Structure 1
Amino acid sequence: MRVQHMRRLGRVFLILCLAVGARWARGQELPPPKVLATSGEYQIATLKLEGGGEGGTDLPLFLSFRNGQGAAVWFAASQRKDAHRIWIETNSLQLSGDKLQGDLNGRLVKVWAPIADTGTLSLTLSATVERGQVAGTFNGKIGAANVFGKLAGSVLTAAQLRERNSVAREAGWPTYFAAPGGATNAGPLADDLAKARPQWKAEESLPCMWGKGPEDRYPHRACMTGCAGGASSPVIADGRVFVYFYRPSGTIGAAPLPYGAGAPKVASEADVLEFAKKHTPSPHGHRAMIDWYRPFADDIVVAFDAATGQTLWRTELPDRSGNMQAHKWRGLNPTPTVAHGKVFAQGYGGYVYALDAATGKLAWEYGAAATKLIGKGGGPSGTGPLVSGNVVVVAIGGSTIGLDATSGREVWKSPGQHALLWRSAGGEQLIVFAADKLPFEKVECLEPATGKRLWSQPIRFFSGMGYSPTGAMAQIAGDLLIGFAPPSDPQAKPSGGVPQAWKLSAIGAEKAWQGEFLPNDENMPVTLGKDRAYVMGREEIRAYELSSGKLLGSLQGKDAFPGLHGPGSNPWLAVVGNRLLLNPEGQHGGQAFMLLDLDLKPLSAWHPPHPSDSAYACMAAISPVVDGRIFVRGHDGLYCYDLR
């Protein structure tokens, strides 16, 4: 099975590079970037539709408006029995003067069992607004139920919501691992996650991730989910939330499909339309199916206001990636890093961008020519850019590259699959995982400014998946490098790894401690906090004392995680203040959380009321917790909840 996935992943990268490289081969210049800065009044309505939900329950509805026109729509209720998602296709709602009125129309869809439309939605709202309070009526149909009744709620301006939901500008989560050592500015959290209060759904929708992505085994899923746009995680800095994703572009037939060998062969949009009409009558589903067949993709970075969810700016970089449409993605997901007033973002197609964090203006882009990466894995082999001084470090294909943070000029290049920052008494260095095969066989220490190799040492690292850049889930705390060693017999059952810690120094690394074998499902990440290292395997979390490797505690078995379950195939665990936050399963679109204390005592479980999604494998989509708020990338957008 793992060999099959290695071959599949290699084919994805190969065809991706062929697709992007097609433009290079034709001598075409890439289109210039486009920056959209939003303007005008932004408002948020929080409503309750009395008896509008399943079984006659009340239905919470969050709406946003830009210059009085309807924007985001969020039915903040538990997942329906008859649908995984409500896809709003037309929104004629208006908020003008003392009136909130208009229509919402869309589809109820399932993404599996079956992959199909399961119903329609049509709602008419008619309400008056007086001193910020909303009162009125609604009527229409959701699925098979005719719904009607009273609605009530409130309207806030962006300024009012910003005052109520202000996120401290000094608090942040500026890169995938929050900060070296995993420290966060979580703020005080309530122990009962069920009391989480929805704050907003971001103004601009986001594409789905790999967990519910439409791939060549069932391409018609695109009619129900839209196209995937990668699984990069949101990051937060200076009161803004930044997200990278991509959207399909290009003409059908212009280049090989990055991911579609098993899909029906088509020669034109007309062929795709004929195929799509067999699965849905929706024009929106038809357009999504056409997009699925496009060869290229535009890299996009969006900045949202962390307090309100309104779009601040959006930068599009056309045709920089291949249009990968996958479900079982087993590569990494490049996540932006914010530093020096810039957003450093890396795309799936080998490009790196520096954008002004306040305006989205492109400062520079670095393009590793896709044609040179064919056969080497042209996509990202790290979790995203690292910033050390005035050098931005990225991992692309089989190389670790240092770029000048001001100009984007390539300063140095070295073999390597992934890098971590090591801050020691001697300064800041890079720890690079380098090997020609997996699991990693070698760890090297480089000087960030020059790429000079300070030492190289054979150390085997592994994180449970033998077909991905597995060193990505190792972590550094002080002078300790913590990760997993592969089992002595890779064919032994059950599969798993051995927790290990290495003491880093100016001349090399020395084994500090080693734990007991831990069975795994797939990915085996490491989480650092205070004086502890937390590691995860199949239905188990262990806590080790960092300095000695002493086992401090373990939580094991399905029954040990009340209201949820233990870690699955691509789990995520974070230290948030004096608590642990667990998302146990990151593969098949599930998104649920458990709060634990630092001694692994479960406190509460929570299934957020938005359409869920996930990154599938190797690198979970994280949900940053900053100043008491959690920011979750769901199936169709970015969501914010207050956990205080």
Structure 2
Amino acid sequence: MLCVDLETGATLWKQRFEQTGFNLYNTSKDAPGTSASVGEGKVFAASAGGKVWAMDASTGEVVWESTMPGYYEGRQRTRERVLSENSRPDASGYHAGTRIVVDGLLVGSNFGGDLVAIDTATGEHRWQVEGVIASQNTPSLWRGHSEPVVIVHDGNTLSAVTVAQGEVLWQHTVARIPRAYPIPIEGDIISVIVEAENGEDYHLAGYRMHAERPERLWTLEKNQDKTGRRLLMIHRGHAYAFGEEGSDHEHLYRVNLKSGEYTHLEGRPQIGSMSFPVGVGDRVMFDRNNYRWLSADDEFQRLSEIWDIPISTSRGYHSTQLSDAIVDGRLIVRGGDGIYAFDLRKQDD
């Protein structure tokens, strides 16, 4: 793991972990793509072998090492199911999500379908809720309740779980998504993919969170992507989603979170099959290789021509789209020969 200065690109510290573990995947391309977590002065990393490390964010020194709660049991359940079905791991078997730091706890998937919480100070196991989160899914934090709550997705069902005790407040079935993306949230409102009334198509819906249940506010009756490769986003009071690939609905849609009123880009903007919208101030960009800029104000329109990243990018193989990092107006991209930063605040090339 590297820690790099955002302004200069200088390496501040490097940490290497010598660790082995069993791997249940068919090919080397199925290796985990989980990201590190940062919070409370520490950096947290998790491995394919079920280990978790906490490092001092300033020095990279390892503070503690622990084992992911329930990792081996969860992976064994996945292995037995995959072998019995003669299939590859589904939403509970890919590694692409990460954990979040909330009030002294590291909360997220144990890579086996369970939501777990680890004490950030000691590495001790605090609680575990079985079978509620896909390994790809990163928990979304909701603070509109009387206490912090995470919203997680197992590929078919949403669950609201309290951070302090791991209590499940409610569960709600949505559309079956083979790759469970993080749930976008702003205030008390989330956007998710739901099944249409015909039982075949998928639509976008907005829900308001409550302690007892989620309340559906609106439904965008336009066919949506079914693969989970085109991620959803909420930015400045609007939900963004891509329509079904290769159909008349293939647009980037923008929906008002409260009213459900929508607009979309006119024409077919050559949306990539693994695109993701990202909000940057008063702008929105999308597409993983050739970035397109849109205004995020009332005039939902293109701001410029396509911006081709002037390097050979190398994101590796992933079963779902992973967004490039955007920090303080800088776009961080993994290139074929290193890591590059581009200042999005400047208007030059």
**1:363-382 alignment, distance < 5 Å:** 363-368=63-68, 371-372=72-73, 373-376=75-78
1:616–1:497 Cα change, 3 Å: farther
Deviation string, structure 1 residues 135-171 (Cα, Å, up to 9, x no partner): xxxxxxxxxxxxxxxxxxxxxxxxxxxxxxxxxxxxx
TM-score by length of 1: 0.45
1:364–1:542 Cα change, 3 Å: same
Given that 1:350 and 1:370 are in contact with CA atoms closer than 8 Å, whether structure 2 keeps it comes out as: yes
Corresponding residue for residue 290 of structure 2: 592
Given that 2:224 and 2:241 are in contact with CA atoms closer than 8 Å, whether structure 1 keeps it comes out as: no
1:554 aligns with 2:264: yes
Greater Rg over alpha carbons, structure:
1
1:618–1:639 Cα change, 3 Å: same
1:557–1:634 Cα change, 3 Å: farther
Corresponding residue for residue 235 of structure 2: 529
Please report how far the alpha carbon of residue 387 of structure 1 lies from its aligned counterpart in structure 2 after TM superposition: 1.3
Match of 1:350 among 31, 34, 50: 50
The answer for unaligned runs of 5 or more in structure 2 is: 80-91
State the number of aligned residues: 314
Deviation string, structure 1 residues 260-290 (Cα, Å, up to 9, x no partner): xxxxxxxxxxxxxxxxxxxxxxxxxxxxxxx
Corresponding residue for residue 23 of structure 1: none
Corresponding residue for residue 187 of structure 2: 478
Match of 1:389 among 85, 103, 126: 103
TM-score by length of 2: 0.81
1:457 aligns with 2:171: yes
Match of 2:280 among 568, 573, 576: 576
Q: Secondary structure at the match of 1:401?
A: strand
**1:407-556 alignment, distance < 5 Å:** 407-415=122-130, 416-417=132-133, 418=137, 419-424=139-144, 426-434=146-154, 439-440=155-156, 442-453=157-168, 455-463=169-177, 466=178, 468=179, 470=180, 472-487=181-196, 492=200, 497-520=202-225, 522=227, 523-537=229-243, 538=245, 539-551=250-262, 553-555=263-265
Corresponding residue for residue 632 of structure 1: 333
Corresponding residue for residue 133 of structure 1: none
Higher strand share: 1
Please report how far the alpha carbon of residue 445 of structure 1 lies from its aligned counterpart in structure 2 after TM superposition: 1.9
Structure 2: how far apart are the matches of 1:521 and 1:450?
Answer: 34
Corresponding residue for residue 399 of structure 1: 114
Q: Secondary structure at the match of 2:142?
A: strand
Q: Secondary structure at the match of 2:76?
A: coil
Structure 1: how far apart are the matches of 2:171 and 2:35?
Answer: 28
Higher helix share: 1
Corresponding residue for residue 86 of structure 2: none
Determine which structure has greater relative contact order: mean sequence separation of CA pairs < 8 Å that are 6+ residues apart, divided by chain length. 1
Match of 1:362 among 62, 87, 93: 62
Please report how far the alpha carbon of residue 320 of structure 1 lies from its aligned counterpart in structure 2 after TM superposition: 4.0
Deviation string, structure 1 residues 376-409 (Cα, Å, up to 9, x no partner): 2686666211111011102021100011010110
Please report how far the alpha carbon of residue 614 of structure 1 lies from its aligned counterpart in structure 2 after TM superposition: 3.3
Structure 2: how far apart are the matches of 1:445 and 1:521?
Answer: 23
1:363–1:319 Cα change, 3 Å: same
Deviation string, structure 1 residues 465-500 (Cα, Å, up to 9, x no partner): x3x3x2x2321111112111134566x5xxx62101
Q: CA RMSD in A?
A: 2.6
1:580–1:409 Cα change, 3 Å: same
The answer for unaligned runs of 5 or more in structure 1 is: 1-300, 586-590
Given that 2:151 and 2:183 are in contact with CA atoms closer than 8 Å, whether structure 1 keeps it comes out as: no
Structure 2: how far apart are the matches of 1:425 and 1:333?
Answer: 31
Structure 2: how far apart are the matches of 1:403 and 1:594?
Answer: 39
Structure 2: how far apart are the matches of 1:461 and 1:349?
Answer: 31
Match of 2:322 among 592, 596, 621: 621
Please report how far the alpha carbon of residue 515 of structure 1 lies from its aligned counterpart in structure 2 after TM superposition: 0.8
Structure 1: how far apart are the matches of 2:285 and 2:153?
Answer: 28
Structure 1: how far apart are the matches of 2:325 and 2:96?
Answer: 19
Please report how far the alpha carbon of residue 570 of structure 1 lies from its aligned counterpart in structure 2 after TM superposition: 1.7
Q: Secondary structure at the match of 2:253?
A: strand
Corresponding residue for residue 82 of structure 2: none
Tell me which amino acid in the other structure corresponds to 2:100: L
Given that 2:153 and 2:182 are in contact with CA atoms closer than 8 Å, whether structure 1 keeps it comes out as: no
Corresponding residue for residue 606 of structure 1: 307
Structure 2: how far apart are the matches of 1:519 and 1:432?
Answer: 20
Q: Secondary structure at the match of 1:376?
A: helix
Please report how far the alpha carbon of residue 576 of structure 1 lies from its aligned counterpart in structure 2 after TM superposition: 0.3
Given that 1:395 and 1:401 are in contact with CA atoms closer than 8 Å, whether structure 2 keeps it comes out as: yes
Structure 2: how far apart are the matches of 1:597 and 1:499?
Answer: 21
Tell me which amino acid in the other structure corresponds to 1:546: L
